[in-house]
Amino acid sequence: MTDSIKQTLTNDMKLAMKAGEKQKLSTIRAMLAAFKQIEVDERITLDDARALAVLDKMAKQRRESIAQYEVANRQDLIDIEQAELAIIQLYLPEPLSEQEILGLIDSAIASIGATSMADMGRVMALLKPQIQGRADMSEVSKLLKNRLG
């Protein structure tokens, strides 16, 4: 049986401590803190699907920060965000190619019988569990709009 994402992060945190990898350690601690916050707030135990959603959100936040720092010409902050993003991405599944995403979109449209933009929510609801953590959901949304529009 494979370890859960939380267990893998906990093990990797210990290894990072022993190896003195400060950047990796702080990023892993931030990920575990985000998990713990949700568990405390919602009184649940995070499963891997929800953990992936949290990591996906953290990666998206880093990408948005990088874009803002590029506009502000702050290379020092860009470097920090890129390092954190690289570490977060280690725990996300292999990203899907555009062709794979389009294939999933087409099969979801066919299974629901979607014909217009009014069906977009239903198609996204079907796609999200398959794509979460493996693709930027805003890009998936754009591709889906092109298919339905």
Report pLDDT for 74: 96
Domain end marker among 89, 117, 137: 89
**Separation between Cα atoms, residue 73 and residue 143, nearest integer Å:** 31
Asked if pLDDT for residue 1 goes beyond 50, the answer is: no
| Better-scored residue on pLDDT, 20 or 48 | 20
Report the number of distinct structural domains present in the chain.
2
What does the mean pLDDT of the chain come to?
92
For tokens 């794509």, the residue is: 131
Contact predicate 5/51, CB 8 Å: yes
| pLDDT tens by residue, 54-110 | 998 999 999 999 999 999 999 999 999 999 999 999 999 888 899 999 999 999 999
Q: Which residue has the higher pLDDT, 2 or 24?
A: 24
CA angle 27/29/32 to nearest 5° reads 115
pLDDT(15) > 60: yes
- Domain that includes residue 137, residue range: 98-148
Same domain, 75 and 42: yes
Q: Which two tokens stand for residue 8?
A: 């893998």
Tens of pLDDT along 98-107? 999 999 999 9
Domain of 120: which CATH number?
1.10.10.410
Q: What is the DSSP string of 29-69?
A: HHHHHHHHHHHHHHT----HHHHHHHHHHHHHHHHHHHHHH
Surface-to-core class of residue 87, CB atoms within 10 Å of its CB (0-12 exposed, 13-18 middle, 19+ buried): buried
Please give the pLDDT value at position 135: 85
